Amino acid sequence: MTEFPDHSFDLVLNMDGAISFCGSEAIAAVRETCRVAKRTVILTVSHRVQMVASWVRSSLAKTGRLGPAVDAMLNRGEWHQKQFADNKILTEGLTQNYLGALKAFVPGELKSLLERCGMKVLRCGGLASLAAFCDPLAVERALSNTEVFKSFLSICEQVDKELMPDRPGTRQRAGLIAVAQRSSG
């Protein structure tokens, strides 16, 4: 039995960890998020490109090779602590040494899942892509002035929506955002 009835909330906001750290249960977590939404769902999840890059960096730094964790994340978007012998060492310094399960999505996969859950996807793509390309000093300068920061955010939003919707966004794990509304009828 679930805790909340269908369509309990006008807005359901689900930010990264509640989905991404579910591993193979992440799809069920997205379905549940949609089930309890009366109207709108906003969620962020780990972007598979960023997680593949994390496993490549960690694998090369810790083992000197590209191990099976890279392949698992690249091809299935999933990683579980007990999959491979190297996994414990790979997590040292990543995601606060988290040793649980991870699921990372690509935009098309997340969009399709939301649509199968009866949602109309308004946006599904990278998050803060422009900031990842900018020199850190430029971002720091934009952050130091309220008016410049507002303009910078507006430009970032346009870049994410129009120019680079499938880019993995920030260098952080939650580089993918989706906004969806319940489809009518």
Residues 136-165 have pLDDT tens digits of: 888 889 889 899 989 988 888 788 777 776
- Domain boundary pick from 80, 103, 126: 103
CATH number of the domain bearing residue 177? 3.40.50.150
Burial code (b: 16+ CB inside 10 Å, e: under 16) for 139-166 equals beebeeeeeeeeebeeebeebbeeebee
In a domain, 99, yes or no: yes
Q: What is the DSSP string of 52-64?
A: HHHHHHHHHHHHS
156 & 175 share domain = yes
43 & 119 share domain = yes
Nearest to 24 by CA among 83, 78, 88: 78
Interval 91-132: pLDDT, tens: 777 666 666 788 999 889 999 999 999 999 998 887 766 777
65 & 120 share domain = no
Interval 34-45: pLDDT, tens: 999 999 999 999
Residue numbers of the domain that contains 97: 49-103
CA-to-CA distance for 66 and 130, rounded, in angstroms?
29
**What's the predicted TM-score (pTM) here?**
0.81
What 3-state class would DSSP assign to 143?
helix
154 & 117 share domain = yes
92 & 110 share domain = no
- Domain boundary pick from 39, 74, 103: 103
CA-to-CA distance for 80 and 83, rounded, in angstroms?
5
Tally of domains within the chain: 2
In a domain, 115, yes or no: yes
In a domain, 4, yes or no: no
Q: Which pair of tokens denotes residue 139?
A: 């971002």
